[in-house]
Amino acid sequence: MSTLNVLFWNVQRKNLTHQITNLVKHKHVDILVLAENPASPVQLIQALNTDGPYYFLNHPLSQCRKITIITKFHYDFIVPTEEDHRLTTRRVRLPTGEDFLLTALHLVDKRSFSPESQNEAATLVAEQLRRVETRLNIDRHVVVGDFNMNPFETGMIKANGFHGTMSSEVAGGKLRTVQKQDYPYFYNPTWSLFGDLNKDVSGTYYYKHAEHVCYEWNVFDQVLLRPVMIDNFVKGSLEIIQTDGVTSLVTARSLPNIATYSDHLPLFFTLTF
Amino acid sequence: MEMQNLWPDFAIEKTKSPKAILKEQAGYLMEKTNNVLSAEIETSQSDGKIIHRFYIVAPAMDNYRYQIFTVTHGVIYYPVAVEWESPTSHWPIVEIEQTAQNEEEFIRILKEVFNNGETIRIISSLLSQSLAE
């Protein structure tokens, strides 16, 4: 059985090459997905390959500048199939023949877009993902990224949005019919990352503002899996990363250290095949 | 008594639909790139709105597609909203939404989108990579 360790991190337009390199080595990352990475990919590859030529550049065909994907296998095995400026869908070809789609995305943020606009954007992106699956005739699909919404928000849960459920058993039902239209589920395990049981942080993103309703901790960084991929997902592997293996990414209060690093914490998980 | 046709004469709408204009421009892109690249328009409906997605397609690159912009309108063609992206410098990319009240304004916005630095960068990159295949 082979495993793929996946790490997603929105680096907030900061050159965190040093921390990324530490993290990749510390977590034995096979697929590194970065959002808002300003560092030169060549510089990053050089830093990652100090011990040997293990990592490969982002696929040169990719035109999506918000997302960078670096892999421990040649980019010919993770080919972009459809993109826009906020998402990239790659077809991952495994030696086992179990291909799957990997979409990495960074959706519109709460500072510039109202909840209604975010909800609308979720509808459009989710529809785009369903169309890609139909076009390529594949329903093995993993979506990871900064959704800028919590797992419980309308765009994440509604049938014609991402239709993400916190239950793998519910997602195992494959689809739900609403007004004669079938909508496939995504299993969204990141629901389980809220709160500080068994860890110091309570989410991936902290934001405090002077409103009556304020969650403070949010889980904007998420992974969604189509039902046929649930068995490939190692549930115990999902974690919010607090250290790069050398240095802590959080403050003494266990908040993201935004002064030095990113306002988002990395998300890590493992797939097995 | 023979029944008369009671219907009045109807004026035929001379306005071109946004989709027809997009299809025409998709054809022009093929012409400009010697059929190396093509464009596809995908139409869907959401909340009473009609959404057209404009993709650049690279057939030589296993039909890789990049969505350049979207056009949204109601049952009546105009106004239409065009959403696209434009870099102010290398970073960041700025999202732009422009509204056209009529066909003329729509064509003007399309021209702006097609001649935008980001669009040219993407098309040039796909063209070079396709030709290298």
Q: How far apart are the C-alpha atoms of A156 and B18, rounded to whole Å?
A: 31
Instruction: Identify the CA nearest to A61 among candidates A46, A44, A75.
Output: A75
A127–B93 CB contact, under 8 Å: no
- Which of A64, A66, A85 is the best substitution to test chain B (most B C-beta atoms within 10 A)? A85
Give me the residue label for tokens 């739900």: A176
What pLDDT does B90 receive?
54
**Is B8 within a domain?**
no
**Is B12 within a domain?**
no
Q: How far apart are the C-alpha atoms of A233 and A39, rounded to whole Å?
A: 30
Residue A5 main-chain phi, psi, to 5 deg: -95, 125
Written as six digits, the tokens of A78 are 């993770």
B122–A38 CB contact, under 8 Å: no
What residues of B are in contact with residue A63 (Cβ under 8 Å)? 66, 121-122, 125-126
User: Which residues are registered as beta bridge partners of B58?
Assistant: B64
pLDDT, tens digit (0-9, with 9 covering 90-100), for A164-220: 999 999 999 999 999 999 999 999 999 999 999 989 999 999 999 999 999 999 999
What residues of A are in contact with residue B61 (Cβ under 8 Å)? 61
pLDDT, tens digit (0-9, with 9 covering 90-100), for A219-254: 999 999 999 999 999 999 999 999 999 999 999 999
Residues 6+ positions from A90 with CB-CB distance below 8 Å:
A59, A69, A78, A79, A80, A81, A101, A102, A103, A104
Per-residue pLDDT band for B8 (boundaries 50, 70, 90) equals: very high
What pLDDT does A98 receive?
87
What DSSP element (H or E) covers B54?
A: strand B49-58
Could you tell me the residue ranges of all domains in chain A? 3-272
- Centre a 10 Å sphere on the Cβ of residue A172 and count the other Cβ atoms it contains: 14
Q: Which of A137-141, A146-150, B44-48, B108-112 has the lowest mean pLDDT?
A: B44-48
Average pLDDT, chain B: 91
Query: What does the buried/exposed string (b/e) look like for B108-132 if buried means 16 or more CB atoms within 10 Å of the residue's CB?
Result: ebbeebbebebbeebbebbbeebee
Is some CB atom of chain A closer than 8 A to the CB atom of B83? no
Residue A143: C-alpha distances to residues A219, A257, B43 (Å): 15, 26, 23
Top pLDDT among A156 and B11 is at A156
**Is B112 within a domain?**
yes
- Give the start-end residues of each E strand in chain A: 3-10, 31-35, 67-71, 78-83, 87-92, 100-106, 141-146, 164-165, 175-178, 181-184, 186-187, 205-207, 216-218, 221-225, 239-240, 267-272
- Which of B64, B72, B94, B127 is the best substitution to test chain A (most A C-beta atoms within 10 A)? B64
Instruction: Identify the CA nearest to B96 among candidates B108, B87, B85.
Output: B85
What pLDDT does A111 receive?
86
Question: Which residue among B55, B64, B85 sits closest to A61, beta carbon to beta carbon?
Answer: B64
B65–A83 CB contact, under 8 Å: yes
Give me the residue label for tokens 């790659």: A90
User: Which residues are registered as beta bridge partners of B39?
Assistant: B56
B46–A127 CB contact, under 8 Å: yes
**A227 and A185 in contact (C-beta within 8 Å)?**
yes
**Is B107 within a domain?**
yes
Q: Which residue of A has its CA nearest to B64?
A: A81
Q: Which residue of A has its CA nearest to B59?
A: A81
What DSSP element (H or E) covers B18?
A: helix B18-32
Pairing of strands B80-87, B64-73: antiparallel
**Is B62 within a domain?**
yes
Measured in residues, chain A has a length of 273
pLDDT > 70? residue B88: no
CB contacts < 8 A (A, B)? 54
**Is B11 within a domain?**
no
- Which of B45, B57, B63, B66 is the best substitution to test chain A (most A C-beta atoms within 10 A)? B66
**A266 and A9 in contact (C-beta within 8 Å)?**
yes
Top pLDDT among B133 and A139 is at A139
What pLDDT does A1 receive?
78
**B55 and B70 in contact (C-beta within 8 Å)?**
no
Considering the domain A3-272, what is its CATH architecture?
4-Layer Sandwich (3.60)
Is some CB atom of chain B closer than 8 A to the CB atom of A134? no
**Is B101 within a domain?**
yes
What DSSP element (H or E) covers B96?
A: strand B93-100
Query: Domains in chain B: how many in total?
Result: 1
Q: Taking residues A105-128, what's their average pLDDT?
A: 92
> Which domain does B91 fall in, by range?
18-132
Per-residue pLDDT band for B46 (boundaries 50, 70, 90) equals: confident
DSSP assignment of A119-169 equals HHHHHHHHHHHHHHHHHHT---EEEEEE-SS-TTSHHHHSTTTT-EES-HH
- Which of A63, A131, A137 is the best substitution to test chain B (most B C-beta atoms within 10 A)? A63
Helices (H), A35-147: 41-48, 115-136
What pLDDT does B92 receive?
58
pLDDT, tens digit (0-9, with 9 covering 90-100), for B21-32: 999 999 999 999
Min Cα–Cα distance to chain A from B9, Å:
39
A66–B67 CB contact, under 8 Å: no
- CATH number of the domain that B36 lies in? 3.90.1150
Min Cα–Cα distance to chain B from A83, Å:
5
